[in-house]
Amino acid sequence: MIEHPSRHCSVELQALPSRIGQVRRIVSAQLRYWRLDPLIDRAALGVTELLTNVHRHAQPDKNCTVEIELQLDRLMVSVRDHDPRLPVVEDGTDVAPMATCGRGLAMVAAVSESWGVRPHDDGKVVWFTLPAKAAAPKAARPARRTAEPASHRIVGAEPVTAGASPPVHTAVAAAAPAPAHAVAGVPATAHAPARSAVAS
């Protein structure tokens, strides 16, 4: 189950290796939505370490909830499980130098601003924070409308009966070019009837 209001995201899962990667992607996507891209690597690393701890040590099950919350000046990340035992901070000396997980809370402490653990119902919550400025979710920008150049405007032609004045389109009258057949001093409608070239 995934819930993500504007400043809060919650994911319930079993802390299995296949699901940990999915949660990393969810956390990364949520931080991009909040425009907190600089925090993605540290938040994803911290979540990975906490979920790995649940996978390795939590009893009686591996069910847990990951929550990220955007507060005024920090990002709060927490993992809640059903094991009331408090975690132990290891120095990480028995972990390979290039390993992407397995350093536990020592790594969480290294990448975070602060961290801690607190009892919760029949289990515990392990959390850490990262400094962040509150960012509003991206809003769609209204489309900009630009006026067409006067020379590209098309005025619909209307039939003109003999002796009637042509319609005047006031919106474009000043900008529309003169008709190609207009002659200086002669109105556009003052056309003489066509004469035959053959004398009658």
Give the pLDDT confidence of 130-179 residue by residue, as tens digits: 998 755 445 445 455 555 444 444 444 445 445 555 544 444 444 444 44
- Give the tens place of pLDDT for each residue, 29-50: 999 999 999 999 999 999 999 9
For Cα atoms 92, 95, 98, give the angle at the middle one, nearest 5 degrees: 115
Q: Tokens at residue 162, please? A: 């003999």
pLDDT band at 122 (very low <50, low <70, confident <90, very high): confident
* pLDDT value of position 118: 93
**Are the C-beta atoms of residues 155 and 169 closer than 8 Å to each other?**
yes
Dihedral of CA 111/69/40/49: which sign?
positive
* pLDDT value of position 173: 40
**Are the C-beta atoms of residues 142 and 99 closer than 8 Å to each other?**
no
Residue 151 three-state SS: helix
Q: Tokens at residue 118, please? A: 């607190």
**Are the C-beta atoms of residues 75 and 43 closer than 8 Å to each other?**
yes
Contacts of 95 (CB under 8 A, 6+ apart): 102, 103
Q: Tell me the Cα Rg of the chain.
A: 36
- Tell me the average pLDDT of the chain: 74
pTM: 0.60
* pLDDT value of position 103: 61
Residue type, 130: L
> For the chain, where are the alpha helices, taking DSSP H only?
17-33, 40-57, 104-111
Q: Tokens at residue 83, please? A: 């094991």
Q: What is the mean pLDDT of residues 10-23?
A: 94
> For 63-193, where are the alpha helices, taking DSSP H only?
104-111
* Main-chain phi, psi angles of 121, to 5 degrees: 50, -115
